[in-house]
Amino acid sequence: MRRRCLATDNLGMTAPKQKGRFGFVIRFELGLLGMFSLTLVTGCIFFWMFIIGIWAGQTILQPAPGEVAKSPLAKLAGALKPGKQDTVDSGASSAQKENMEPTTEMPVESAPASETEWAEAEPSFFALQISAVRDQDRAQQDVAEWRGRGYEAFSLPPEDEDDPFIRIYVGKFDKLADANQLIAKLEKEEKVKAYIALLPASRLKSP
């Protein structure tokens, strides 16, 4: 009996030590009214979070006036508008005109636009204009110099009264390809920039 009493006393002394993991226990007890109130408050919180999120998306994240973002298709459509295309074309044409302006003041004989027009014109030939001078003696000196280099050179007087330049030419060709070959040779060996001209045979006179 004494041993049983001692065992009972030991159990009674150790029983209070069986508590929570951290040595204490926290309990919440809610009735039906408390559960209903907690559910209502939680629902209101989530509802207002949803409303605030929609408001922020429409006001704070919306781009400012004048900064409306365009989609790629809208940008492409705007770039293909006739007004902008004309502006780009005009800018490109003006830049091409500036680049096509001759670097020298040497006048060049005008030629027909195509070989068909050349063929339909009067008998003519291709020649390379290498210079243009005002003085007749200077023109004869240039012709003699080019002939001394082995080229078939000649000069022609101006056709118009307002044109004071005497033009010096090199070569006489029936085909445009032959004239292009001589141009490449002059640029490589003589360092001279020449221009192809179509001359009527009636203008050619022996010096």
The residue ranges of every structural domain in the chain are: 1-63, 115-203
- What percent of the chain has pLDDT above 90? 27
Other beta carbons within 10 Å of 45? 10
CA–CA distance from 144 to each of 23, 85, 141, 207 (Å)? 122, 54, 5, 11
Does residue 9 surpass a pLDDT of 70? no
**What is the model's pLDDT at position 154?**
92
**What is the model's pLDDT at position 44?**
92
CB 125 within 8 A of CB 201: yes
Q: What are the pLDDT digits (tens) for 181-198? A: 999 999 999 888 899 999
**Could you tell me which residue, 155 or 12, shows the higher pLDDT?**
155
**Could you tell me which residue, 81 or 139, shows the higher pLDDT?**
139
- What percent of the chain has pLDDT above 70? 54
Dihedral sign of CA atoms 164, 170, 172, 178 in order: negative
**Which residue stretches of the chain are H helix?**
2-14, 32-59, 72-79, 82-100, 115-120, 136-148, 176-185
Does residue 104 surpass a pLDDT of 50? no
Average pLDDT of the chain is 72
Does residue 16 surpass a pLDDT of 90? no
**Across 4-13, 43-52, 75-84, least confident range:** 4-13
| Whole-number Å distance between alpha carbons of 74 and 89 | 21
Mean predicted confidence (pLDDT) in 97-124: 54
**What is the model's pLDDT at position 28?**
66
- CATH topology for 115-203 is Alpha-Beta Plaits (3.30.70)
Kindly provide the b/e burial profile for residues 70-106, where b requires at least 16 CB atoms within 10 angstroms of the residue's own CB: eeeeeeeeeeeeeeeeeeeeeeeeeeeeeeeeeeeee
Does residue 121 surpass a pLDDT of 60? no
**What is the model's pLDDT at position 38?**
85
Does residue 13 surpass a pLDDT of 80? no
pLDDT band at residue 170 under the 50/70/90 scheme: very high
